[in-house]
Chains A and B, each alone.
Chain A
Amino acid sequence: MTRAPFATVLALTLLAGCSYAPPSRAAIKPTAKRNPAPPFTLKDSQGKSFNLADYKGKVVLLNFWATWCGPCKLEIPWFMEFEKNYRDKGFAVLGVSMDEEGWEVVKPYLERVKMNYRVAIGNDIMAQHYGGVESLPTSFLIDRDGKIAAVHVGLVSKSDYQRDIEHLLNSGKKASAGSRVVAVPAVALPAVQ
């Protein structure tokens, strides 16, 4: 290949990769390439503190959302269904609302939709630990070892989520027998009322 065509191909490849940010369809990362999920402590709608370590041994779908985010609200019924169907298999959804007004707007929404999974109000510090969370919805699939197996930015299809969750639940069963929860740096995040 001559230099000119190579340069053209390179330029086109870069443009193709950079000019459009499609909805994320991140594949499940290989176990060796997964990073520990940053720990956090938050308060749920009942005022009860909880942290990520409470969910060790479970597959967790950590979903950053907001009441003003249309794509987020499309996903919520899916997540409720996942919570219901996979709860007994070691799965949990954690919703982290990024609404500036906090519980004032979130609680009425939870009651209206009858959300069946745990929801907390997030904060900028937590979002920073999770890479900034530039847009919503952003979801992290955390494996049974407390490591981030996949990140979905933007609306992703229900079937993609379902496939990833089932993959982690099934692979987790095999891996968790001899594994332990990986220790992560103890970063204390402020609990948000």
Chain B
Amino acid sequence: MLLLCPLLLFPQFSNILTVQTPPTMSMKAGVETPVKLHVKLNSGYHVNSDKPADEYLIPLKLTWTSGPLAVKSVTFPPPRMEKYAFSEKPLSVYTDDFDIITKFEAPANTPKGEKLVTGKLRYQACSHTACYPPRTAEVKIAVNLY
């Protein structure tokens, strides 16, 4: 049976989380602009929130590579407190779909034109019965600075 369905089995391990980035953003120099990352988790999985309750748990972390745009803030949505069979206390997690908002601002004197902003979303996912090693999703956003 397993030999017949590797293509159906493997995606659940390799693609638990996906990050959708917006199309090319238009951004005015000197103006703070929010950028939304849409994160989608496969059904039945969760990732720790950015502030997990347990010190050993690996938090969700978004880091942006330094570039022409300054990161003014990164805002995660309110987490869900979910109880799992393997934990005594509810865990602070994200499930299903959620958005992370980053506010960027380019100094007014930044040269205009196309910019590429890159970042990394580090996450550690679990199902109800197993956990997966921490992974990093690369994030790239094209910005048209005017």
Contact = CB atoms under 8 A, between A and B. Distances in A.
Contact residues of B: prevailing secondary structure: loop
A46 interface: no
Interface residues of A, number: 27
B109 interface: no
A14 interface: yes
Contact of B130 (A13, A18, A155): A155
A14 B129 contact: no
A155 B134 contact: no
B144 to A, nearest CB: 38
Q: Which of B5, B58, B133 has the most CB of A within 10 A?
A: B133
Nearest to A153: B130
Contact of A71 (B1, B2, B9, B126): B126
Contacts of A153: 130
Given A67-B56, A68-B56, A70-B91, A154 B4 contact: no
Q: Which of B85, B128, B129, B134 has the most CB of A within 10 A?
A: B129
Nearest to B7: A18
B124 interface: yes
Contacts of A21: 9, 12
A23 B131 CA distance: 12
A66 B12 CA distance: 21
Q: Which of A14, A17, A71, A137 has the most CB of B within 10 A?
A: A71
Interface of A: 13-14, 17-19, 21, 23, 66-74, 98, 100, 105, 109, 134-137, 153-155
14 contacts: A17-B1, A17-B5, A18-B4, A18-B5, A68-B57, A68-B131, A69-B131, A70-B87, A71-B131, A98-B133, A109-B56, A135-B13, A154-B129, A155-B85
